Structure 1
Amino acid sequence: MLQNAGTSPRSFAASTALIALTLVLGLAIRFGPLGLPWAIRKYGGSVLWAAMLYWVASTLLGRMRLPAVALITESGAVAVEFFKLVHTPGLERFRATLPGILLLGREFSYTDILAYTIAILCAFFLDSALRSRRSRLSVER
């Protein structure tokens, strides 16, 4: 299943739907008045941020093998997390804005890296299964 999974990119419509759904769920969990516990808001948002990063990367790198896309996504997510250790006045002003909070976050956390890893692995396996199913359906036609 995983060997040929990167050869057939998702349709633009499917990619857009995955990205949009993940984005909306992430914003709802993080900022919606759902009465969710802090840990669900914090790590649910982190998980969905990383999953969305995977959907974007796998869309842009549609013909690349999915394990490579997952590694690139993980590297980017970890780099963003470590970037939180860099503090300059301009970065701090940006981090105080909604785009800064959503894109960069504010505080470094090793547990966020674990959440990103789990999310990227889940998105990778789901993407592999979806692409494998799509390939099987194409062959059957």
Structure 2
Amino acid sequence: MLREDDISLAYLKARVVYIIVFFTVIILGISSRVLTDVIPIFVSRHFGDIFWASMVYFGCRILLLKQRLMVSVYLSVLFSFTIEFSQLYQAEWINSIRSTVLGALILGRGFLSVDLIRYMVGIVFSYVMDYFWISHVKEKH
């Protein structure tokens, strides 16, 4: 039987793993935008948004560790789609935020329907990886 201390330690270890994955995905996403001369054009065009949505998913997992995986999927889709559709709103105050590097990374610049597909790919891929990682960890214990 698992003690409360063992469960708390397991959640702490899982959270650390999610944090490492979260920052790794950020590095990969930024790299896909910066290293455009070195990587294939398909990767530089599509993977930034895929990694962005993956980062959102793993951010949800960090915050909602005790929730079912699908809660993170739903919230990630909701958040990502909300950000994308917010790009249809072009008021001066929000465009000034979007004109900064951080603002553009978080809020984007202009609505592209293909981004919704990219977000879904990133979230589904992250969910599948997460599901198999959790299954593997459960098998070991």
TM-score, L = length of structure 1: 0.86
C-alpha separation between the residues in 2 aligned to 1:12 and 1:117?
23
Counterpart of 2:54 (choices 26, 51, 54) is 51
Between Structure 1 and Structure 2, the one with more helix by share is: 2
Where does 1:96-111 land on structure 2 (aligned, <5 Å)? Answer: 96-111=99-114
- Cα displacement (A) at 1:40: 2.4
Unmatched runs of 5 consecutive residues or more in structure 2: 1-9
Overall identity of the aligned pairs, in %: 22
- Cα displacement (A) at 1:38: 4.6
Figure out how many residues of one structure are paired with residues of the other and give that number. 131
- Cα displacement (A) at 1:37: 4.8
Unmatched runs of 5 consecutive residues or more in structure 1: 1-7
Code of the residue aligned with 1:84 in structure 2: it is Q
Q: How large is the RMSD of aligned CA atoms in angstroms?
A: 1.6
In the other structure, the counterpart of 1:72 is: 75
C-alpha separation between the residues in 2 aligned to 1:56 and 1:125?
16
In the other structure, the counterpart of 2:126 is: 123
Deviations 1:53-83 (A, max 9, x none): 0000011111111112101111110000000
Code of the residue aligned with 1:128 in structure 2: it is Y
Code of the residue aligned with 2:70 in structure 1: it is P
Code of the residue aligned with 2:84 in structure 1: it is E
- Cα displacement (A) at 1:48: 0.3
Q: Which has the higher contact order (CA 8 A, sep 6+)?
A: 1
Code of the residue aligned with 1:130 in structure 2: it is W
